Amino acid sequence: MQINSIVKVSKNYKFPVSDQDVVEAEKKIGIRFPPVFRKFILEWWGYNVELVDENIRRYGILFPHAKPGRGFVVPQFTPSFGAMVETVGDSCLPKNCLCFEHHAYQGELFVDLSTDHIWFFETDIDGQEMDEYYRDFLSYEDACDAFDPKNGIVPTYFTKIADNIFDMLDEKRFVIIPDDVPG
């Protein structure tokens, strides 16, 4: 039997979201959600990612460009939409961005609400990697303040994962991660 994908991505129907919920969230955050992310919130409410084969040790989405530190990200599940909105401002993220999955000691997956693009913000970088590669900004806050992909300013803490949430969740993008890829 050939497995076409190593994961199964499914909708999370635990916390229904209405148009009014989205409008209220947009007012609270101060920006209108981009079309694809809005569709995701209204139709999916969230996602769960499950391995098809439990013998797979490491899996995820490889970063498009190799760099020291982390070489991939492992989307697993989203919190409720309400929790996403309630945590706006709790973490250091660029302006007009919404975290939809936090990875303790690794970083955050977020949507840039001005473009619909999905990014990973790496926050677990050891001192040597910081000195050798992440010289462009001395702090996460400076990196967040400077983040402006529309004008080509993307500090090295950030890695673009996908053009939108559905592109990120395409099961064909998930791969078995070789042991030599940092993560």
94-124 residue pLDDT tens: 988 888 888 766 788 899 998 999 999 887 6
Q: What pLDDT was estimated at residue 1? A: 31
Position 71 pLDDT exceeds 70: yes
Cα–Cα distance, 180 to 32 (Å, whole number): 41
Of 121 and 139, more confident: 121
Domain that holds residue 81: 7-176
**Is there a domain that residue 38 lies in?**
yes
For residue 23, give the CATH number of its domain.
Answer: 3.40.1580.10
**Is there a domain that residue 120 lies in?**
yes
**Is there a domain that residue 90 lies in?**
yes
Quote the percentage of the chain above a pLDDT of 90: 19
Q: What pLDDT was estimated at residue 133? A: 52
Q: How many domains, the chain?
A: 1
**Is there a domain that residue 26 lies in?**
yes
Let me know: does 49 contact 30? Beta carbons within 8 Å.
Answer: no
**Is there a domain that residue 151 lies in?**
yes
**Is there a domain that residue 183 lies in?**
no
Q: Tokens 């919190």 — which residue?
A: 79
Parallel, antiparallel or unpaired: strands 72-73 and 97-103: unpaired
Q: What pLDDT was estimated at residue 68? A: 62
Question: Burial level of 4, CB count in 10 A (0-12/13-18/19+)?
Answer: exposed
Please give the model's pTM, rounded to 2 decimal places: 0.83
Question: Burial level of 118, CB count in 10 A (0-12/13-18/19+)?
Answer: buried
**Is there a domain that residue 94 lies in?**
yes
Question: Which residues contact residue 104 at a Cβ distance below 8 angstroms, ignoring those fewer than 6 apart?
Answer: none
**Is there a domain that residue 25 lies in?**
yes
